[in-house]
Amino acid sequence: MSLIRKVVSNFANDSTEPGTSSLIEFIRVIYLFLYEMKNTVAIGFLGTQLDFAGKGPQRWERWRPTVALCQQENLVINRLELLHDVRGRGLAERIALDIAAVSPETQVRRVEMNLRDAWDFEEVYAALHDFARAYAFDTEREDYLIHITTGSHVAQICWFLLAEAHYLPARLVQTSPSRKGDVDVGGSVSVIDLDLSRYDKIAQRFARERTDGLNFLKSGIATRNAAFNRMVERMEQVAGRSRAPMLLVGPTGAGKSFLARRVYELKKQRQRLAGRFVEINCATLRGDSAMSALFGHVKGAFTGAQTERAGLLRAADGGLLFLDEIGELGADEQAMLLKAVEEKRFFPFGADREAESDFQLIAGTHRDLRLWVAAGRFREDLYARINLWTFDLPGLAARPEDIEPNLDFELERHAHDQGRQVRFSAEARKRYLEFAASPAARWSGNFRELGASVTRMATLAEAGRITETAVEEEIDRLRGAWQADGRDQDACAQILQSAAENLDWFDRCQLNGVIAVCRSSSSLSEAGRRLFAVSRAGKKHANDADRLRKYLLRFGLDFERLRGAV
């Protein structure tokens, strides 16, 4: 060390041209070498708003973050990598000149980075990630600071993520203006080192916020089913990062509509949506009224269209549209919906001018839409569009471990709605849960059914207590409903299997009724008499057995087969 000192000293003294600035530079380089003093390099965006303060001398009276960063009394920036796009070149050049005036130590390097949309998370992240990977970081000799005060908030978040993930071996630096009344326009800087333990708190906060988001989607129900929890977790991630459509697949009562609403509320909470939550079951939409209900109509579009109607898509502008049972949508509606999802534009019924609506779409279905696409009943392109994020919601029977938390949730909800706290006795609770999780419990109505079951018991509970007797009573009720279900209501599906899918619900109801009567009759004639009891009274010749046989034949069925299938 002392030898080097001497060399430096001699060099300085023997120089034939003492006092040149290159001598200072030489000495500085030696210091850097000797005392491991590193150069400080700052990287940051040109602030097209904040750094712009005109060309006149008054610009010096405005706080300009990029200039201010180089104006600090206790921080020397040796090099500034100033990121800007092609439009910002003029401003960047002027800023570089001003920095040269107030900070002769700073070398400004302009880096052109053209972003199509500085608010597009994916694009900004990719651009900065590329920048970070291409940059020749020399951490041995340079300290890096990322200036996060300028650039879009998206850029700020991306810087943070890249620094936290150590893609950028840098600390973050923030500049802030002086307090009002302070004559110093340079303001102040604060350096944020993400490796310091106190920033763990921020990381913990992020983690907590995510957990909060998860809990929110699950409505605070501490669900235990791993597959379901994974699904909700993924849903929370998608809801947080994307506005792409989501598809919820699951049986009725599995909570599709409920989850869609929670996603909406979560997004609204996080300021990602400003508009309304609009929900419609497509199975209830038919014909002209379907078009008009969804897309609106103009006055006089069809008979009875006396006034203009905005339609649900426009009502959901800026918000979230939940289309349940999207498989039931007609071909015309599917085509228009595709246009609306892709272009955020569509034609209201009878209109020759397009309407606009920008909404987040969540679709729900209990069907396997792939089969419907194969059968030509659902548009393949629309399916491809909504199938980006598909979430399968298992029914309650597939999630026996979640019955208990949902039971508590339903009791809590009842207490909240009715202002009356109801509890199970320990034995009653044990008995109910045992039954609920057993294979005997089909839960064909899923969570909606569980909710109804709890509501019944809670309503009937004497003195706020659900007893074992009440539970046994409820179990009988559920068994009865499922038996009826199993034998009669779903007889079509049982007997016709997938062919039942080709029947209108109208026909299925009728056929189910007919099957139920046949099963409880000993002969075709008896069944015929019971089924046509009213009309046969006015007939001379009773031909009800024949009518029934022909009816059954239309579905490829006969009486013997129905009897045998019991």
Residues that bind other proteins (CB under 8 A): 5, 8-9, 11-13, 15, 17-21, 23-24, 27-28, 31, 35, 37, 56-58, 60-61, 70-76, 98, 101-106, 183-186
Question: Rounded to a whole number, what is the largest CA-CA distance in the chain?
Answer: 137
| Of the candidates 351, 372, 375, 354, the residue with the CA atom closest to the CA atom of residue 363 | 372
| Of the candidates 356, 294, 297, the residue with the CA atom closest to the CA atom of residue 322 | 294
Q: How far is the CB of 135 from other proteins (least distance, A)?
A: 24
Three-state SS at 321: strand
Alpha-carbon distance 187 to 68, whole Å?
A: 7
Residue closer to other proteins (CB basis): 5 or 430:
5
Q: How far is the CB of 60 from other proteins (least distance, A)?
A: 5
Query: Any bridge partners for residue 297, and if so which?
Result: 309, 349
Name the token pair of 146.
């990322």
At 76, phi and psi to the nearest 5? -110, 120
Looking at residue 487, the DSSP 8-state letter turns out to be I
Q: How far is the CB of 111 from other proteins (least distance, A)?
A: 23
Residue closer to other proteins (CB basis): 39 or 215:
39
Name the token pair of 468.
């074992």
How many residues belong to the chain? 566
Looking at residue 309, the DSSP 8-state letter turns out to be B
Helix (H) or strand (E) holding 81: strand 79-84
Q: How far is the CB of 172 from other proteins (least distance, A)?
A: 18
Residue closer to other proteins (CB basis): 25 or 195:
25
Q: How far is the CB of 98 from other proteins (least distance, A)?
A: 7
Alpha-carbon distance 544 to 524, whole Å?
A: 9
Residue closer to other proteins (CB basis): 17 or 352:
17
Residue closer to other proteins (CB basis): 106 or 512:
106
Residue closer to other proteins (CB basis): 171 or 377:
171
Residue closer to other proteins (CB basis): 37 or 553:
37
Q: How far is the CB of 105 from other proteins (least distance, A)?
A: 6
Angular region, 384: left φ>0, alpha ψ -120 to 50, beta rest: alpha
Residue closer to other proteins (CB basis): 179 or 353:
179
Q: How far is the CB of 185 from other proteins (least distance, A)?
A: 5
Alpha helices in 105-193 (DSSP H): 121-134, 153-164
Q: How far is the CB of 53 from other proteins (least distance, A)?
A: 12
| Of the candidates 395, 391, 363, 392, the residue with the CA atom closest to the CA atom of residue 379 | 363
Q: How far is the CB of 4 from other proteins (least distance, A)?
A: 9
Residue closer to other proteins (CB basis): 186 or 528:
186
Residue in the block written with tokens 């419907």: 372
- In this structure, the strands spanning 39-45 and 79-84 are parallel
